[in-house]
Structure 1
Amino acid sequence: MQNSEWKFNDLPNVAVIVNRKIISSGEWIAYVSHDSVDGAWQFHTNQITPLSENDAVLVSLKSIVDLDHSITALADLPLGWCAWRSSKDDIWQKAQLSD
C-alpha cells in the first residue's frame, strides 16, 4: 500500500480495539467509535450486549481496513463521533457521541 492510498490521519499500525468475533468468526462491523479522550478507534459487531474485556482484542487499523475496505469511508470521522450501519452493505451513518 502506498502512503497516498492511506486515508486515515492515524498510521496504519496504530492499535485499535475490535470485537474478537470480527477477527475470528468473520462477523461484520456494525458500529465504530472514535473516542474523544484518547482518539482510540473501536470496532463492534451488531450484538446488543456490551463488549466484555474477554471479547476485545487489539489489532492494527490497517488490518481492519484490509478486512473491510468500507471502513475507509470513516477516515474523516472526527474525535468524539461514531458511525453505524444496519447491514454489511448499508451506507455508514455518522453522529456525534453524546456525553
Structure 2
Amino acid sequence: MRNKKFPFSDAPNTACFTCCHVLEENKPILYVSHDEDGYWQFLCGGNHKEEDARVVSLVSILNIDETMGDLAELDYGECAEAESITSDWIVSRMNK
C-alpha cells in the first residue's frame, strides 16, 4: 500500500467489518459488500456468527489484501463474491 493512491473514496481509517477467519486464520476475502448505509464488509465467504465479527480500518484490509482496492468502486447496496482467490469477482445488488 505504500506510495500508492488510496483507492477508496472513504478515509483510510474508516471502520469496516471483517471476520476472525480473515484476520486470525488468514483465510482469503471472498465476499465484499458496500452496504446501503455505507459500511464495508470483507469476509471469507463462509457462515458466520456474531462473535466472528471484527472491526478494522479500511487501510488494514488493503494491508491484508491489496487487491481489495479493485473493488473500491462498489456502489452502496452492491456486493462482490468470488469462489476462490483465482476466480473472477461477480458483482451484484444485495437483496433488501
Gaps spanning 5+ residues in structure 2: where?
A: none
Q: How well do the aligned residues superpose, as a CA RMSD in angstroms?
A: 1.3
Q: What are the residue-to-residue correspondences of 1:72-87 with 2, within 5 Å?
A: 72-87=69-84
The Cα shift of 1:46 comes to: 2.6
Shift of 1:12: 0.6
Q: Percent identity?
A: 35
C-alpha separation in 2, matches of 1:28 and 1:55:
15
TM-score by length of 1: 0.89
**Partner secondary structure for residue 79 of structure 1:** coil
Pair 1:63 & 2:60 matched? yes
TM-score (norm 2): 0.91
Match of 1:31 in 2: 31
> Aligned ranges for residues 9-24 of structure 1 at < 5 Å?
9-24=9-24
Unaligned runs of 5+ in 1: none
Count of residue pairs brought into register by the alignment: 95
Structure 1's consecutive aligned runs of 4 or more residues displaced over 3 angstroms after TM superposition are none
SS in 2 for 1:83: strand
